[in-house]
């Protein structure tokens, strides 16, 4: 269809104006929907200054830069949990030790900071040893944290601040920890998760009825502690370090996922009880 | 006055058969049926799908979120390749700029006006939308909003063949040149990120230009002295590796380093620009594909990326329309002058035609996002890349499916 130029010019001017008006109106309308995100403001990390990279750096600097970049990228997947050792409850009160701890006594002990890994947008998995309870969760203002624990395996799901990072690291393909190699260790710290490399020596796979998949027992002396989260150097989640009857062991994601699923399930459908007392208990 | 031109331009300054042919194989019954059913490009002559639509999802499939072929370790090791690829794109834009600078500088002014309008509108839209919707930010708002604006300003005009009509020819050349301003303005993102001293500012401004000139001089001295074609290719690729490596080492934009080198090779005496363009044709498409695959593999679904799509896409739509309006007004001032930049008969340049052609973002939007991912902190960089990659795919599809109808009504 041929349209005369003045007619087309006037019509398309109206068309173009209409596009702009609709775009602005739609933007203003969509801006009314609040983002369901985290309440706290993330830390602003300044970029390096220009020409910083001209300075000569040693190989340790390269290692540090690599870990720094990886830690920054993966930080949203981890939440720091403050835990305290709960003193034994007075005998004869009929309550379980952990839930019956005195607040005054708890307040007098120093908190231990552990790193937890997000398994969903608002839940994170943490190692919670016996006689320990969660005192605070970074970014959550709650006097009584929402914790579902598997006391037998010393693992717990903790409600954490909502994040767009919905456990993609935990649910992605697992990282491989090879014996006699380096891994990345994620630990809790005051300002957030901390990352460092650690050398792992001998690893022996052990079948343990408490876990759905073999766990890797760390041989020899190691500077990783129970509760530490391990990543492969490629940045994939490789497991949690726990105490086991065989010694310090790495529980791989394959063994953790059924436990997480059971802890996330409604209370009535919780994990079938096992010899180690694996039923979920909410406190 | 019509001027002879050595080649039909596509996005990023050179002949780009990939842009034209991908997804549109030689006429076969199946292709014909598909085309008849759904896809006809802006004039019904051009490709039905552009590389971004194919390779971004393919990258996602190969990436850590799916098959894991492109693992995080592989992606981090490909960082150097990304930087070199960005410098190659910068060179191609620089070569296009150098040629148009000689031949038709009003086109550069119009293209810069168009991209400036898009940058301003998208930046304003993002700066308004972010706080209003309460989006989490780990970088200064203005830095992120400006980065979105620069990514949105890229155009490819790949939805039509440049020879198909005068408007497509002009749109293609405007699309070539509208990448110049955002490449130069990349430094603005760094300035918005943190307070800088005058010395830092001077270094950040001068370093990419000095590096680009150094690489340009290096190539200029080497290319024409090569004793064989193979040796010449080695010199070209070596110069581009130096450009990328220098940019990465200095922490400056590889696009800007490449742009400066490209302009130098075009304006300097000799055939350096032709040599570079000829030799880059051998690596341009693999690099473009690699960039898109990497961008797809780095795509991370998140609520934040979804939320930022609103200001990015709506702002870009309004920005391109406004920019095209301004550019068409400038180029069409005295309608006969429109023929000055084409070899075809005089015909008015309608803003809606120009806007329709410029709606396709092409590879450079993704390239900008990859560049900013190197500059921004990890969280913001990933959100920016995911938003821009999604927006690019949507706009490419938009250009294929909707714009032909838009334009047909007006023709």
User: Given this model, what pLDDT does residue B3 score?
Assistant: 42
Residue A106 pLDDT more than 70?
Answer: no
- Give the distance from CA A46 to its chain's centroid: 24
- In angstroms, the separation between the Cα of residue B105 and the nearest Cα of chain A is 26
Among A19, A45, A50, beta carbon nearest to B207: A50
- Range with the poorest average pLDDT among A113-122, A245-254, B33-42, B77-86: B33-42
- Give the distance from CA A15 to its chain's centroid: 50
Rounded to 5°, angle at Cα B266 from B261 and B270: 115
- Give the distance from CA A115 to its chain's centroid: 7
Contact B204 A50 (CB under 8 A): yes
Contact B318 A53 (CB under 8 A): no
- In angstroms, the separation between the Cα of residue A228 and the nearest Cα of chain B is 22
The pair of three-digit structure tokens given for residue B190, joined into one six-digit string: 């760094």
The three-class DSSP label of residue A195 is strand
- Range with the poorest average pLDDT among A3-12, A269-278, B157-166, B221-230: A269-278
Better-predicted residue by pLDDT, A4 or A59? A59
Residue A268 pLDDT more than 60?
Answer: no
- Mean pLDDT for chain A overall: 77
Among B134, B251, B318, beta carbon nearest to A23: B318
**Could you give the CA distance from residue A15 to residue B318 in angstroms, rounded to a whole number?**
12
Which residues, 6+ apart, have CB-to-CB distance to B328 below 8 Å? B110, B349, B350, B351, B353, B354
Instruction: Identify which of A270, A243, A275 has the alpha carbon closest to the alpha carbon of residue A259.
Output: A270
Better-predicted residue by pLDDT, A242 or B66? A242
Contact A47 B375 (CB under 8 A): yes
- Assess B70–A contact: CB distance below 8 Å, yes or no: no
- Assess B64–A contact: CB distance below 8 Å, yes or no: yes
Query: Hey, which of A108-112, A267-271, B254-258, B373-377 has the most confident mean pLDDT?
Result: B254-258
| CA within 13 Å, CB half, A276 | 17
The three-class DSSP label of residue A252 is coil
Rg (CA), chain A: 25
User: Given this model, what pLDDT does residue B250 score?
Assistant: 81
- Assess B336–A contact: CB distance below 8 Å, yes or no: no
Closest A-chain CA to B200: A50
- In angstroms, the separation between the Cα of residue B224 and the nearest Cα of chain A is 31
- Assess A29–B contact: CB distance below 8 Å, yes or no: no
Closest A-chain CA to B196: A49
User: Given this model, what pLDDT does residue B362 score?
Assistant: 78
Which residues, 6+ apart, have CB-to-CB distance to A195 below 8 Å? A67, A70, A71, A74, A184, A185, A186, A231
- Assess A59–B contact: CB distance below 8 Å, yes or no: no
Among B134, B325, B379, beta carbon nearest to A16: B325
**Could you give the CA distance from residue B190 to residue B51 in angstroms, rounded to a whole number?**
30
User: Given this model, what pLDDT does residue A108 score?
Assistant: 56
Among B135, B251, B351, beta carbon nearest to A51: B251
**Could you give the CA distance from residue B243 to residue B254 in angstroms, rounded to a whole number?**
7
For residue A17, report the phi and psi dihedrals to the nearest 5 degrees. Answer: -60, -40
User: Given this model, what pLDDT does residue B357 score?
Assistant: 81
Among A43, A49, A69, beta carbon nearest to B138: A43
Provide the 8-state DSSP code for B44. Answer: S
User: Given this model, what pLDDT does residue B258 score?
Assistant: 92
- Assess A19–B contact: CB distance below 8 Å, yes or no: yes
Contact A42 B203 (CB under 8 A): no
Closest A-chain CA to B132: A31
Mutate to test the interface with B, among A16, A29, A169, A171 (most CBs of B within 10 A): A16
Closest B-chain CA to A20: B318
Longest C-alpha distance within chain B, in Å? 63
**Mean pLDDT of successive 10-residue stretches along chain B, which has 411 residues:** 42 44 49 47 43 86 85 83 89 86 80 92 93 84 92 75 63 81 86 75 85 92 84 88 87 89 90 85 82 90 89 92 86 55 57 80 87 84 92 84 60 44
- Range with the poorest average pLDDT among A37-41, A213-217, B390-394: A37-41
User: Given this model, what pLDDT does residue B146 score?
Assistant: 93
Which residues, 6+ apart, have CB-to-CB distance to B29 below 8 Å? none
User: Given this model, what pLDDT does residue A238 score?
Assistant: 92
- Assess A146–B contact: CB distance below 8 Å, yes or no: no
> If contacts are CB pairs under 8 Å, which of residues 169-198 in chain B contact chain A?
190, 193-194
Q: What is the 3-state secondary structure (H, E, C) of A121-172?
A: CCEEEEECCCCEEEEEECCECCCCCCEEEECCCCEEEEECCCCCCCCHHHHC
pLDDT tens sequence across A72-90: 888 888 999 988 887 765 5
Report the DSSP pairing between strands A155-159 and A147-150. Answer: antiparallel
Which residues, 6+ apart, have CB-to-CB distance to A104 below 8 Å? none
Helix axes A5-30, B303-331, angle to 10 degrees: 160
Residue A239 pLDDT more than 90?
Answer: yes
């Amino acid at each position: 269809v041929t349209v005369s130029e003045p007619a087309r010019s006037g019509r398309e001017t109206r068309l173009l104006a209409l596009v702009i008006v609709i775009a602005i109106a739609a933007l203003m309308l969509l801006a009314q929907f609040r983002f369901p995100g985290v309440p706290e403001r993330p830390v602003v990390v300044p970029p390096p200054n220009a020409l910083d990279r001209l300075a000569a750096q040693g190989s340790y600097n390269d290692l540090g830069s690599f870990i720094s970049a990886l830690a920054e990228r993966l930080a949203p997947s981890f939440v720091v949990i403050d835990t305290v050792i709960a003193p034994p409850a007075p005998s004869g009160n009929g309550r379980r030790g952990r839930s019956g701890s005195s607040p005054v006594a708890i307040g007098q002990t120093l908190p231990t900071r552990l790193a937890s890994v997000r398994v969903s947008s608002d839940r994170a998995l943490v190692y919670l040893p016996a006689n320990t309870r969660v005192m605070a969760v970074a970014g959550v203002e709650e006097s009584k944290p929402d914790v579902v624990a598997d006391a037998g395996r010393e693992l717990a799901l903790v409600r954490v601040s909502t994040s767009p990072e919905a456990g993609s690291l935990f649910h992605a393909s697992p990282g491989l920890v090879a014996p006699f190699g380096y891994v990345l260790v994620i630990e809790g710290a005051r300002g957030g998760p901390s990352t460092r490399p650690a050398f792992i020596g001998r690893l022996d796979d052990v079948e343990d009825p408490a876990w759905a998949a073999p766990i890797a027992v760390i041989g020899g002396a190691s500077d990783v502690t129970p509760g530490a989260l391990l990543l492969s150097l490629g940045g994939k989640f490789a497991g949690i370090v726990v105490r086991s009857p065989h010694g310090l062991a790495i529980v791989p994601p394959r063994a953790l996922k059924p436990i997480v699923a059971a802890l996330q399930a409604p209370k009535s459908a919780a994990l079938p009880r096992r010899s180690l007392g694996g039923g979920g208990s909410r406190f | 006055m019509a001027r002879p031109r050595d080649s039909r331009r596509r996005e990023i300054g050179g002949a780009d058969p990939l842009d034209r042919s991908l997804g549109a194989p030689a006429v076969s019954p199946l292709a014909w049926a598909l085309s008849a059913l759904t896809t006809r490009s802006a004039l019904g002559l051009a490709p039905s799908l552009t590389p971004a639509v194919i390779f971004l999802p393919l990258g996602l499939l190969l990436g850590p979120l799916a098959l894991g072929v492109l693992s995080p370790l592989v992606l981090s090791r490909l960082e150097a390749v990304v930087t070199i690829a960005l410098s190659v794109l910068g060179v191609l834009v620089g070569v296009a700029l150098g040629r148009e600078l000689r031949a038709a500088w009003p086109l550069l002014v119009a293209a810069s006006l168009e991209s400036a309008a898009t940058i301003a509108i998208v930046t304003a839209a993002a700066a308004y939308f972010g706080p209003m919707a309460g989006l989490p930010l780990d970088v200064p708002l203005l830095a992120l909003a400006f980065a979105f604006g620069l990514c949105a300003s890229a155009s490819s005009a790949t939805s039509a063949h440049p020879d198909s009509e005068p408007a497509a020819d002009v749109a293609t050349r405007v699309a070539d040149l509208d990448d110049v301003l955002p490449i130069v303005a990349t430094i603005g993102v760094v300035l918005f990120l943190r307070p800088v001293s005058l010395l830092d500012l001077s270094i950040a401004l001068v370093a990419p230009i000095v590096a680009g000139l150094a690489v340009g001089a290096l190539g200029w001295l080497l290319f024409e002295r090569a004793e064989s074609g193979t040796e010449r290719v080695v010199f070209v690729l070596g110069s581009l590796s130096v450009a990328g490596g220098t940019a990465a080492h200095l922490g400056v934009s590889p696009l800007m380093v490449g742009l400066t080198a490209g302009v130098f090779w075009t304006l300097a005496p000799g055939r350096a620009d032709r040599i570079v363009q000829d030799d880059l044709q051998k690596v341009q498409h693999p690099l473009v594909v690699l960039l898109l695959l990497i961008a797809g593999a780095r795509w991370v679904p998140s609520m934040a990326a979804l939320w930022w799509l609103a200001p990015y896409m709506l702002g870009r739509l309004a920005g391109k329309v406004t920019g095209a309006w301004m550019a068409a007004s400038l180029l069409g001032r005295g309608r006969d002058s429109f023929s000055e930049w084409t070899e075809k008969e005089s015909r008015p340049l309608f803003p809606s035609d120009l806007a329709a052609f410029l709606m396709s973002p092409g590879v450079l939007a993704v390239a900008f996002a990859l560049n900013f991912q190197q500059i921004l902190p990890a969280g913001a960089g990933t959100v920016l890349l995911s938003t821009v990659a999604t927006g690019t795919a949507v706009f490419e599809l938009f250009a294929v499916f909707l714009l032909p109808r838009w334009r047909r009504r007006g023709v």
